[in-house]
Amino acid sequence: MSEVILAQNAGFCFGVQRAVNEALKIQKEHNSKIYTLGPLIHNNDVVRFLEENNIFSIELENIHILNSDDVIVIRSHGVSQAVLDVLNEKQLKVLDATCPFVTNIQKKVKKYSKEGYHIVILGDKDHPEVIGINGWCEDKAIITKDGTFEEPIPQKICLVAQTTEKIKNWENTLKNLSSVKEVLAFNTICSATEARQKSTNKISKEADAMIVIGGKNSSNTTKLYQISKQNCISTIHIENAKELPFNFIKNNNIKKIGVTAGASTPDWIIKEVLDIMNTENNNFEDQLSLMNELDKRFAIGDEVQGEILSKTRDSILVSLVGYKADGVIPYTELSAKEDPITFAEKLNTGDSIKAKVIKLQNSDGYVVLSRLEYEREEAFKELEVLFNEGKTFEIIIKEAKEKGLVGDYKGVRVFVPGSQIDIKFTEDKNEYVDKNLEIKLIDFSLKNPVKVVASRRILLEDVKNAEDAKAWESFNLGETVRGEVKRFTSFGAFVEINGIDGLLHLSQISWNHVKNASDVLKEGQIVDVKIIGLDREAKKLSLSIKELQDKPWDNAAAKYPEESIVLGKVVRLNDFGAFVELEPGVDGLVHISKISHNRIEHPSEALKIGQEIKAKILSVDEENKRISLSIKDI
């Protein structure tokens, strides 16, 4: 009795499954006959199944028989831009089921061919996938089947691979291109293909006989057969259970039989083969259980474990045990504790790694995984302690947004509102990006939605409050201090002294009349002021520059003796006369009757503001601060 083992990775890959599901979905929506451009997949049983569901294959040269608005599905192999143009010109309803992995290759080929790179494709020049890819660089690609080249290679190339290629051929291609000056290499071999090849290689070394299930014209299945045949001479390739040789199972010399299947082989065909073998009293419960596991689906937050398949320039590809889809861990999701690239260098192909599902499918068809989530759980525990104990800690600012700053603490997003960045208004938040910031949590909750809100301002306020308290204690009423003019208001200016803002009222700037503080002072100017008001409890500080200047009315009678002639400037006019400035803070009045020998109705008939005039001092009243002048009496 033979033991039968099923390859860990076998059957439909993501791209094929997606194409079949899309076709069935589209047919159901239109409820009419639809077409696929060429066989949807290289499996005759699946093609017949699709035809039973009113989905038929048609070749490009025959699309003239279709009517406009007929539905045509692009298969997972993809097509060239030129083919898409033809279909659109025919006004067909084109629905693209190209495998996301293939689409990714097409985009790379289009981009880098436009940038001056010569495209090199590793693959079968007659395979529809390769033909389609070549169409995105105007059919100018150099195509190699096994990595060897007959003609000289350009010195600036971009290398891609057919998704179903063997990793051995990829490595051989890179080796043969080692002398090329500039090689931009993208390993576009589908991880699902690579995983199936690895699984097949492993069990074919252990088995006495191998059964490879899949379409005879399927590229990936053919490669599985080639790998099996190299390791196990007794290898057969069948499309379905009907082709399974009865004497193959009955051979008593075969102790262990390995079973694998190409990416275009549906689960039900694999199960039919296992069921036939099961009639010979073999125990296939484990194998059938595994096949059932192949139908498992992911959910966000699931913890998964897999084996590292390969590393790219920006991510790690992971084969997930018991799942059809493979996973990808972007370097940005590897670690917050150390540099991701450095961390990635420590990982090797074949290593086991645990991660959490953060996205069910990216544009390339991979399940996106995160190792950061494990670190984040620990970080949340630490943050909860820091919040409860009111401790400060540092974060690195990753991004400046309209409403504040976004920081990172071991993979956890920490938000600092704009009002909590600084004591004063922050005009340019970008100056904090990529810098460490000491903060304190002001809101923390793990309930949905999670809240991790912090403040830098409260730490600065604590420091400033201590400094302010010390400054207020140092102030004394009546003393002269030095400060900096900080800002202006309609009623004066604020002068900062030892970090405290004091008010310099308009009336305290000069003995002369001041209309706007900015007419006399400049922002940033250092001035000496006298403390004329001090209220520590209300935190009010009143200042004066005028009090440090001589009082202009002191000794006015001596400075301006009666009957003397004085030169002054007209500063104000009203109905009863004109005020003349003799010096800043000292004005004299020329009554309207003392302005001219001619009769005037208003002083403006004889005088103008700003005009310099000579006048005779008639009287001086120091107590009431009045000086009477006459122009007429000169």
Q: What is the per-residue pLDDT across 215-257, written as a single tens digit (0 to 9) for each?
A: 888 888 898 999 999 999 999 999 988 888 876 766 667 888 8
Are the C-beta atoms of 132 and 80 separated by less than 8 Å?
A: yes
Structure confidence at residue 291 as a pLDDT band (50, 70, 90): very low
Gap between the Cα atoms of 341 and 344, Å rounded: 5
Q: Where are the beta strands (DSSP E) in 149-201?
A: 156-161, 182-185
DSSP designation for 249? H
307 catalytic per annotation: no
127 is annotated as contributing to ligand binding = yes
Within a 10 A sphere around the Cβ of 273, how many other Cβ atoms?
22
Domain ranges of the chain: 1-98+195-290, 103-189, 302-375, 390-460, 475-548, 555-630
Q: Which residues contact 13 (CB under 8 A, 6 or more apart)?
A: 190, 192, 193, 196, 220, 263, 324
Residue found under tokens 């060897």:
148
163 is annotated as contributing to ligand binding = yes
Structure confidence at residue 436 as a pLDDT band (50, 70, 90): very high
> What is the pairing mode between strands 93-96 and 480-489?
unpaired
Across 339-353, average pLDDT: 85
158 is annotated as contributing to ligand binding = no
597 is annotated as contributing to ligand binding = no
Are the C-beta atoms of 493 and 485 separated by less than 8 Å?
A: yes
Q: How far is CA 156 from the centre of its chain?
A: 31
Give the type of residue at 391: K
**Short-list 480, 476, 492, CA closest to 548:** 480
99 is annotated as contributing to ligand binding = yes
Q: Nearest-5° angle of CA 105, CA 10, CA 218? A: 55
Which architecture characterizes domain 390-460 according to CATH? Beta Barrel (2.40)
Q: Nearest-5° angle of CA 165, CA 159, CA 74? A: 60
Q: Hey, what's the torsion of the CAs at 312, 315, 317, 318, to 10 degrees?
A: 150
Are the C-beta atoms of 294 and 9 separated by less than 8 Å?
A: no
Q: Which residues contact 371 (CB under 8 A, 6 or more apart)?
A: 329, 333, 334, 335, 353, 354, 355, 356
| Highest CATH level, class, for 475-548 | mainly beta
Are the C-beta atoms of 579 and 570 separated by less than 8 Å?
A: yes
Across 195-213, average pLDDT: 89
User: What is the residue-averaged pLDDT of the chain?
Assistant: 86
Residue 302's pLDDT is what?
Answer: 83
> What is the pairing mode between strands 352-359 and 392-401?
unpaired
SS3 421: coil
Q: What percent of the chain is predicted at pLDDT more than 70?
A: 94
Across 180-208, average pLDDT: 85
Query: 103-189: what fold?
Result: Cobalt-precorrin-4 Transmethylase; domain 1 (3.40.1010)
| Least confident range of 1-10, 11-20, 585-594 | 11-20
264 is annotated as contributing to ligand binding = yes
The answer, yes or no, to whether residue 148 has pLDDT greater than 60, is: yes
- Per annotation, catalytic residue among 3, 61, 89, 129: 129
Residue 14's pLDDT is what?
Answer: 63
Are the C-beta atoms of 233 and 205 separated by less than 8 Å?
A: no
Q: What is the pLDDT of residues 613-628, one digit of tens each?
A: 999 999 999 888 899 9
HEC profile of 303-333: EEEEEEEEECCCEEEEEECCCCCCEEEEHHH
> What is the pairing mode between strands 118-122 and 156-161?
parallel
The answer, yes or no, to whether residue 281 has pLDDT greater than 60, is: no
219 is annotated as contributing to ligand binding = yes
Q: What is the pLDDT of residues 593-613, one digit of tens each?
A: 999 999 999 999 999 999 999
1-98+195-290 and 302-375, same CATH topology? no
Residue 219's pLDDT is what?
Answer: 81
Question: Which two tokens mark 52?
Answer: 């039973």
- Buried residues in 206-234 as b, exposed as e (16+ CB within 10 A): ebbbbbbbbbeebbbbbbbbebbbebbeb
> What is the pairing mode between strands 526-535 and 500-505?
unpaired
For the packed helices 14-30 and 100-114, what is the interaxial angle rounded to 10 degrees?
100
Query: 302-375: what fold?
Result: OB fold (Dihydrolipoamide Acetyltransferase, E2P) (2.40.50)
220 is annotated as contributing to ligand binding = yes
Phi, psi dihedrals of residue 532, rounded to the nearest 5°: -110, -10
Gap between the Cα atoms of 269 and 276, Å rounded: 11
- The correct answer on CATH 3.40.1010.20 for the domain covering 1-98+195-290 is yes
Query: 555-630: what fold?
Result: OB fold (Dihydrolipoamide Acetyltransferase, E2P) (2.40.50)
13 is annotated as contributing to ligand binding = yes
- Buried residues in 567-595 as b, exposed as e (16+ CB within 10 A): ebebeebeeebbbbbbeebbbbbbbbebb
Question: Which two tokens mark 464?
Answer: 């400033």
Name the strand (E) or helix (H) holding 223.
helix 219-231
Question: Which two tokens mark 304?
Answer: 């998964």
Are the C-beta atoms of 398 and 430 separated by less than 8 Å?
A: no
Question: Which two tokens mark 194?
Answer: 């690579």
- Buried residues in 253-272 as b, exposed as e (16+ CB within 10 A): ebeebbbbbbbbbbbebbbb
Residue 251's pLDDT is what?
Answer: 66
Gap between the Cα atoms of 406 and 415, Å rounded: 5
